Amino acid sequence: MHSKWAKKAGIDKFIADFVNRNIDYGTSWAFTEGDNEFYVEEYESAVAKQLNFFHQKDLDNENNHKSYVKAYYLHHLLDYFRETRINIYEINFVFDQFLKEKIETETINAEGNKINFLKEIHQIFDVLRKNKDELYSDLKGEYFTN
């Protein structure tokens, strides 16, 4: 399901698949000493480390329009829709709860500057909001909330 929604969000399939694999199967290899060139605090959660990793991938390729970060948020948001116990028909409430409960909206780079990703998050929200009937249809099944 992720690839379909990535395409709707303008995210290259290769990037979406790369992000999905790394989130689902782990990115611990990316955080081993000496293998990374990005800023990672030891106390950061795995989710925060992933965000920093994908942000760095975007910085390495400025032409992809922050596709790694968008794919990261899309992945977590689609999972949230399947996992939440709140009424998914209240799509704006789901988005609000996602921001409060599930995800970080910003990170701090090596220079100590905050980098905010709300623009990218809202782009993903807009894609799902504009296609909510199709989203609900895709979610039907064992994970669907009545």
Task: State pLDDT tens for residues 44-67.
Answer: 677 788 888 899 899 888 777 899
pTM of structure = 0.83
**Domain edges within the chain:** 2-139
State the DSSP code for 116: E
Residue 36 or residue 15, greater confidence:
15
Name the pLDDT band for 100 (thresholds 50, 70, 90): very high
Q: Are 5 and 60 in contact (CB under 8 A)?
A: no
CA dist 112 and 18 (Å) reads 28
Residue 129 or residue 50, greater confidence:
129
Percentage of the chain beyond pLDDT 90 is: 49
Q: Which residue has the tokens 């500057």?
A: 113
Write out the E strands in 54-144. Answer: 106-108, 114-116
Residue 13 or residue 44, greater confidence:
13
Closest CA to 30 of 20, 16, 40, 43: 40
pLDDT at 39: 46
Q: What are phi and psi of 106, to 5 degrees?
A: -150, 165
pLDDT at 133: 92
Q: What are phi and psi of 116, to 5 degrees?
A: -100, 140
pLDDT at 45: 74
Mean local confidence (pLDDT), 107-113: 82
Task: Using CA atoms of 80, 126, 14, 77 in order, give the dihedral in degrees to the nearest 10.
Answer: -10
